[in-house]
């Protein structure tokens, strides 16, 4: 029995796992998070009601970071030390804030207003991108690994959703341009819906 990944073609959390899995056999089961039977049934495989979820035989793993850890334990993609974990937590923070802002927009909340919760999400994203700048200018351009994959998925998605602008961050555009033609990136392009 092979891997089964439940997700959507827009989620940055799902995309980073799709890219990691790109050269491995797996079945992708697309879920509509907000409508229909999928939305109702998701909590039967993940009580948190989020995607992605990986099913591997008797094991069901939720949370993209844990899914990566699970796959990394099997396939040994990379060694992750505590500083790497910190950086991944920062990337997750940016993604979580981005998704929170997107869900607010979908809920009809004006994210251009000075609402404290909104401002904190936006400030967090900017703070994380400031912190990551030296990494984005150097190491991220040399190593295509879970960190750079996560960064790519976040930036590409957040720009597409209108959550961030990178006009003042040329290092981000340069980073995206470096990897945009990789087969795994093209194979997982965000469905523009």
Contacting residues toward ligand GSH, per CB under 6 A: 11, 13, 33, 49-52, 63-65, 99
CB nearer to ligand GSH: pick between 157 and 171: 157
CB nearer to ligand GSH: pick between 122 and 161: 161
Token code pair at residue 72: 């990394």
In the complex, what is the shortest distance from the CB of residue 64 to ligand GSH, in angstroms, rounded to a whole number?
4
Buried b (16+ CB within 10 A) or exposed e, 53-73: bbbbeeeebbbbbebbebbee
In the complex, what is the shortest distance from the CB of residue 142 to ligand GSH, in angstroms, rounded to a whole number?
25
CB nearer to ligand GSH: pick between 18 and 171: 18
Q: What is the dihedral of CA 100, 167, 175, 128, to 10 degrees?
A: -40
SS3 80: coil
In the complex, what is the shortest distance from the CB of residue 154 to ligand GSH, in angstroms, rounded to a whole number?
11
In the complex, what is the shortest distance from the CB of residue 139 to ligand GSH, in angstroms, rounded to a whole number?
22
CB nearer to ligand GSH: pick between 128 and 171: 128
SS3 123: helix
In the complex, what is the shortest distance from the CB of residue 99 to ligand GSH, in angstroms, rounded to a whole number?
5
CB nearer to ligand GSH: pick between 39 and 115: 39
Alpha helices in 2-145 (DSSP H): 12-20, 36-45, 64-75, 82-106, 116-137, 139-142
């Amino acid at each position: 029995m092979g891997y089964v990944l439940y997700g959507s073609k827009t989620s940055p959390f799902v995309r980073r796992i799709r890219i990691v899995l790109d050269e491995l056999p797996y079945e992708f089961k697309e879920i509509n998070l907000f409508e229909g039977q999928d939305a109702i049934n998701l909590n039967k495989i993940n009580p948190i009601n989020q995607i992605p979820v990986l099913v591997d035989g008797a094991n069901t793993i939720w949370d993209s970071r844990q899914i990566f850890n699970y796959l990394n334990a099997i396939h040994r993609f990379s060694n992750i030390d505590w500083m790497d974990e910190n950086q991944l937590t920062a990337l997750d923070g940016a993604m979580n804030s981005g998704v929170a802002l997107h869900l607010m927009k979908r809920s009809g909340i004006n994210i251009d207003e000075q609402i404290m919760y909104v401002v904190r999400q936006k400030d967090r994203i900017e703070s994380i991108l400031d912190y990551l700048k030296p990494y984005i200018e150097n190491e991220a351009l040399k190593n295509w690994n879970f960190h750079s994959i996560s960064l790519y998925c976040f930036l590409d998605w957040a720009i597409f959703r209108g959550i961030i602008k990178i006009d003042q961050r040329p290092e981000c555009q340069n980073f995206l341009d470096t990897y945009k033609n990789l087969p795994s990136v093209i194979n997982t392009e965000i469905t523009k819906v």
